[in-house]
Structures are given as structure tokens and as C-alpha cells.
């Protein structure tokens, strides 16, 4: 059965060099004792990376293809890893996004049956980012925009960034909303990466970012927007009834909440898709399956941060029909113009 991996990450040598050159956060540094690469998100906020992972992210050739083949993955949808260019100086980020998209396009031309990709954009200059998205889609045949849960102190619901969303809707391409290091202070202190990072903080902030988007009314203004989330929806399928609470309880004072055309859960069910990346827990999958329907679930492995063999073993162990597997593995991707 064909398989399209909707979440797979990469980097370029130019991007790595810029990450090491950054004077501000986030930046790459090397540990003085071990020489291991790390991301410094702040003075006391460090994420381990390591050269093994760096090399896997840089590999856009035979090594990556061998791992894909061993896992039964036919195609990867490639996206620049966190922190992307979202937090860089606007001029540097805009130029680096363009160069990264050009480099990704060349890789796709070399392996057209194995790779497609999402554009990197520098949202600090929204109009330039919207124009770059148009170029990436129209000229480079990239399939959408991969962005992150925060832009430093700002979130995506800030209307400053809405020109990018408007362009995405006009182009009819999806936005992959990926976690990043959280801005929420209480997630960044005391307990390190176990609280702030992928185990907890990433998903919590991404879910909040999604709720801010929904409550902002952006899906009333741009009803054709399509947003993709990893990790079976960052916990939101579990909360769909609760997020509707102030809109359905008869005694609730409606003047105290944002005025929307639909209930919050309606936007989640109509405008969002989720991938299987990094959440291999049967009760979580069952909840997402029942809350959203199989038509909105996409295969995602989060390579190279996760082992794609583990992802496939989990999915193969679920009690799914042949039709459901086909939808998750490759048929649903055709809704985004991605086919093999």
C-alpha cells in the first residue's frame, strides 16, 4: 500500500551556518565539554540536538531514501525544521526562506517521485511572506506553508499575519502548524525540556495557538483555510465538547465571548486535519478517529525526530479496515494535491 509521510523535516547547510551565527535566540551552540550541538532558546533553555540528528536532517539523498524504503514510506512531505526562519531578523529570515525554498525545489526535481515540500516563510514581513508563498507554490510547486506555534511574543492570530493566511486560502494550499519552543513563561522554568519541550509544552502551546486562531474569527473571514496539526491534533480532539461550552450553554452571557458564525468545534472539524506523528497511543488515536473522522487523518512520522518504523508498527497494529488505511496512508493527501 502506498504511503505518504506528511511530516518529515530537513535543514540546509546555509540554515545551519546562520543558526550558529545568530547572536540572539534561538541559536545553535556547541557544548564546551562534549562539542555536541544544542539549540539555545534562551539563557536557561536548551534543547539537545546532536550531530547524528543534524546529519539526518541534512541528508536529502540516498541515506534518507534507504530509511524511507526500510519503513515502507514512498514519499515524504519535507519541511524546514524548528525554529525555521520565524524568529530571525526579518531581512535575514526573508532571504534565507527564499534560498531554502529554492534548495528544496532542487531536491524535489532530483527525486520527483519521493519528495514534495512545504515552503518556509519569514512572517516578520507578512506581505513579503505572502509573496514568497505565491512564488513557492506557483513557480516551485511547493504544496503549502509550514509554520510554528509562536513568533516569539506573538501568535498567529495577530492580524498582522493575516495577509499570509489570505494568500494561502487564495492559493488553496494548507498550512502545517508545527510546535515550537513555547513562549508561556511557566512552561520554560524549573523543569527543563521535560515540561517545555515535545513531551508536554510543545503540544500545550500549539493547542492554545489553535484556539486563539479559532476565536479570532479568521475562519469566518477565510473559510477555505486548511490547517494541519501533528500528534493527532495536539490534544484538541479530546476537548471538542468543552471548547463549545460558552457557545451552547443557555445561561452564558454571549457578550463576554468572541462572536463567531459557528461553534469552535465546527471550525476544528471543517478546517483542520491531523497527522499521526509522534503520538502512538491507541486511546488517543481512537479519540481522534471518532472525533474527526478518518478522512481528516494523515500519515506523519516526524522523521528524523521519530523512528518511522515505530510509527508504522503502531498503525499496522490498529484494527483498521483496508479502506481506512488507504485514506490515512495516501488517499487523504490527494485533498492537498499530493499524490503518488
**Sign of the dihedral through C-alpha 76, 82, 88, 90:** positive
Q: Are 119 and 101 in contact (CB under 8 A)?
A: yes
CATH class, range 11-335: alpha beta
Q: How confident is the model at residue 153 (pLDDT cuts 50, 70, 90)?
A: confident
**Residue 48: what pLDDT?**
84
User: How do beta strands 272-275 and 145-148 pair?
Assistant: unpaired
Q: What is the pLDDT of residue 183?
A: 92
Contact predicate 93/328, CB 8 Å: no
Provide the pLDDT for residue 33: 87
pLDDT at 322 over 90: yes
pLDDT band at residue 224, thresholds of 50, 70 and 90? Answer: very high
Residues β-bridged to residue 320: none
Tell me: pLDDT of 42 over 80: yes
pLDDT tier for residue 314 given thresholds of 50, 70 and 90: very high
Helices (H) and strands (E) in the chain, counts: 17, 11
Chain centroid, CA 80 distance in Å: 10
For the question of whether the overall pTM of this predicted structure is more than 0.85, the answer is: yes
Give whole-number Cα distances, 218 to 163, 212, 240, 263, in Å. 11, 9, 18, 13
pLDDT at position 47, please? 86
Which of the pair, 103 or 41, is modelled with greater confidence? 103
Average per-residue pLDDT for the chain? 96
Catalytic residues: 302
- C-alpha count within 13 angstroms, C-beta hemisphere, residue 88: 25
Q: Where are the domains of the chain?
A: 11-335
Query: Rounded to whole angstroms, how far apart are CA atoms 305 and 57?
Result: 9
| Positions of E strands within 135-198 | 145-148, 175-178
Task: Kindly state the percentage of the chain with pLDDT values over 70.
Answer: 100
Q: What is the pLDDT of residue 56?
A: 97
Backbone region of residue 281 per phi and psi (left: phi > 0; alpha: psi in -120 to 50; beta: other values): beta
The predicted-structure confidence for 49-61, as pLDDT tens digits, reads as follows 889 999 999 999 9
Average pLDDT estimate for 249-257? 92
Q: pLDDT tens across 263-284, in order?
A: 999 999 999 999 999 999 999 9
Q: What is the pLDDT of residues 115-151, one digit of tens each?
A: 999 999 999 999 999 999 999 999 999 999 999 999 9
Distance CA 179, CA 232 (A): 13
Type and span of the H or E element at 229: strand 227-229
Amino acid at each position: 500500500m502506498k504511503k505518504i509521510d506528511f511530516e518529515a523535516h530537513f535543514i540546509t547547510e546555509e540554515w545551519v551556518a546562520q543558526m550558529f551565527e545568530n547572536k540572539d535566540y534561538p541559536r545553535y551552540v556547541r557544548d564546551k565539554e562534549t562539542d555536541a550541538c544544542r539549540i539555545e532558546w534562551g539563557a536557561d533553555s536548551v534543547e539537545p540536538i546532536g550531530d547524528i540528528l543534524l546529519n539526518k536532517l541534512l541528508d536529502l539523498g540516498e541515506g534518507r531514501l534507504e530509511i524511507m524504503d526500510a519503513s515502507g514510506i514512498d514519499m515524504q512531505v519535507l519541511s524546514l525544521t524548528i525554529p525555521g526562519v520565524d524568529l530571525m531578523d526579518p531581512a535575514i529570515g526573508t532571504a534565507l526562506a527564499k534560498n531554502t525554498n529554492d534548495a528544496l525545489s532542487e531536491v524535489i526535481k532530483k527525486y520527483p517521485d519521493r519528495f514534495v515540500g512545504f515552503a518556509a516563510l519569514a512572517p516578520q514581513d507578512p506581505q513579503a511572506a505572502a509573496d514568497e508563498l505565491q512564488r513557492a507554490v506557483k513557480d516551485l510547486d511547493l504544496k503549502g506553508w509550514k509554520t510554528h506555534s509562536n513568533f516569539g511574543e506573538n501568535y498567529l492570530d495577530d492580524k498582522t499575519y493575516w495577509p499570509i493566511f489570505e494568500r494561502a486560502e487564495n492559493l488553496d494550499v494548507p498550512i502545517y502548524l508545527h510546535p515550537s519552543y513555547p513562549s508561556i513563561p511557566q512552561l520554560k522554568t524549573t523543569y527543563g525540556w521535560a515540561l517545555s519541550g515535545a513531551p508536554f509544552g510543545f503540544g500545550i502551546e500549539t493547542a492554545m495557538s489553535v484556539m486563539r486562531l479559532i476565536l479570532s474569527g479568521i475562519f469566518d473571514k477565510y473559510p477555505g483555510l486548511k490547517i494541519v496539526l501533528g500528534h493527532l491534533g495536539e490534544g484538541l480532539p479530546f476537548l471538542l465538547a468543552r471548547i463549545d461550552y460558552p457557545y451552547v450553554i443557555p445561561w452564558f452571557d454571549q457578550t463576554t465571548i468572541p462572536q463567531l458564525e459557528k461553534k469552535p468545534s465546527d471550525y476544528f472539524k471543517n478546517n483542520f486535519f491531523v497527522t499521526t506523528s509522534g503520538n502512538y497511543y491507541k486511546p488517543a488515536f481512537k479519540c481522534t478517529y471518532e472525533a474527526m473522522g478518518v478522512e481528516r487523518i494523515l500519515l506523519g512520522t516526524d522523521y528524523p525526530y521519530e523512528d518511522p518504523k515505530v510509527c508504522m508498527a503502531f498503525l499496522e497494529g490498529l484494527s483498521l479496515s483496508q479502506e481506512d488505511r488507504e485514506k490515512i496512508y495516501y488517499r487523504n493527501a490527494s485533498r492537498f494535491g499530493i499524490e503518488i
